[in-house]
Amino acid sequence: VFRAPSYLHCRYNSTTTAFARIAPLKMEELSHDPYMVLFHDVVYESEIDFLLNATQLKASLVGQYQYSPVRTSKEQHFVEYNDTAVVKTLHRRLNDMTGLDMIESDTLTLINYGMGGHYDVHYDSHNYSEANRLILGDRIATVLFYVGEVDSGGATTFPYINVSVTPKKGSAVLWYNLDNSGQMNPKAIHAGCPVIVGSKYVLTKWINEIPQLFLAPCVRNDTFRLKSR
């Protein structure tokens, strides 16, 4: 575990949406480049129970939808407009957390890593390597909910910036994959460490760039934040 720099702070996020002003969210800054925050207590026990009981997990794919030893996990996708009230509620909460538009973003995905399950170092951004990225843009940001405790292992690590996030049930980590020019930020490279004991459940949302055109203003790199204040 790495010591946090002194310029990182814990605070309540009440600026992203009108609802967040009424019910601010607890957040802890982990990095400014890329911008990364850890939200506490943002997914609830009843929601977790529903997600875990409503799944039919299948082997995860990477790249051009192929199986790979780089990623050893199982997953299920939830589409906002075709799924239940719980999934719709989580999409609204994602909007409160980020201030970004969830429409036309990747599906909400529940992923399970069993004993030894891991995901080698990788980027979530694609640099337009897939056809639909030309329409929706690259993945500007990632939100990773932790929906279960892990007995040992399973941390999400960012080796370039010396940040390691230990899974804690009910928390979520948000980071930006792109810089302010829309290019892939090399510092956003990360990995899912192997699960040593137990099982790891996470809920992932990849947020696309183009729908955020009028929501994520262009600012100087050294002042990048969740949203203009």
Position 228 scores a pLDDT of: 42
pTM of the prediction? 0.82
Sign of the Cα pseudo-torsion (211, 39, 204, 177, in order): positive
Per-residue model confidence as pLDDT tens for the chain (229 residues): 455 566 888 999 999 999 999 999 999 999 999 999 999 999 999 999 988 887 665 555 444 444 445 455 566 665 554 557 888 899 999 999 999 998 888 888 888 888 888 889 999 987 655 555 567 788 999 999 999 999 999 999 999 999 999 999 999 999 999 988 788 999 999 999 999 999 999 999 999 988 888 787 555 555 444 444 4
Residue 212 confidence (pLDDT)? 87
Instruction: Write down the pLDDT at residue 161.
Output: 96
List the domains of the chain with CATH numbers. 10-217 (2.60.120.620)
